[in-house]
Amino acid sequence: MSDFVSRIINLNTEIIKITANGILENPIYTIPVYLFPYFLALILSKHNLRAIFICNLIFGVSGVGWLAVLGWAFFELENKPRKPVDPDGRLCPNCFELIRFKAAICHHCHKPVADSAKAATDAKP
């Protein structure tokens, strides 16, 4: 039992030495920590993986840049289309706001909706 406790204490002291000396001294620890936002985006299957990698290489040097890229890799920044709640409505293809099926112009973004009458009759069950 004493041998087990001494091994744990030695392991803890080694971890403290690594973090106290700075993680940047050993490239085995540096590269995975530096590229952690990229690996996180890879695991989470983000579609903007290349942009996250490039920004991680450029801005990851500063702590604020690394945290910003980490947030970008973890959270989704795009507007995802929402499902319509109203059974008599649909989503505008331009701004993804809920509009009526027969609307020719979106009342949110004021852009024309392509083939609104045809899409309204085809999409309605």
Residue 13 counted as domain residue: yes
Alpha carbon distance 118, 63 (integer Å): 53
Same structural domain for residues 67 and 99?
Answer: no
Per the structure, how many domains does the chain have? 2
pLDDT in tens, 17-55: 655 455 556 667 677 888 888 888 888 888 788 888 999
Same structural domain for residues 42 and 17?
Answer: yes
**Can you read off the two tokens belonging to residue 97?**
């706001």
Residue 22 counted as domain residue: yes
Same structural domain for residues 59 and 115?
Answer: no
* 11: pLDDT strictly greater than 70: no
Same structural domain for residues 70 and 94?
Answer: no
**Whole-model pTM?**
0.44
SS (H, E, C) the chain: CHHHHHHHHHHHHHHHHHHHHCHHHCHHHHHHHHCHHHHHHHHCCCCCHHHHHHHHHHHCCCHHHHHHHHHHHHCCCCCCCCCCCCCCEEECCCCCCEEECCCCECCCCCCECCCHHHHHHHHCC
Structural domain containing residue 32 = 2-74
Q: For the chain, give the percent of residues with pLDDT over 90.
A: 1
Same structural domain for residues 10 and 63?
Answer: yes
What local confidence, expressed as pLDDT, does residue 72 receive? 86
Same structural domain for residues 65 and 118?
Answer: no
Residue 84 counted as domain residue: no
Q: Which of 66, 117, 69 is nearest to 90 (CA)?
A: 117
Same structural domain for residues 65 and 107?
Answer: no
pLDDT grade for 107, boundaries at 50, 70 and 90: confident
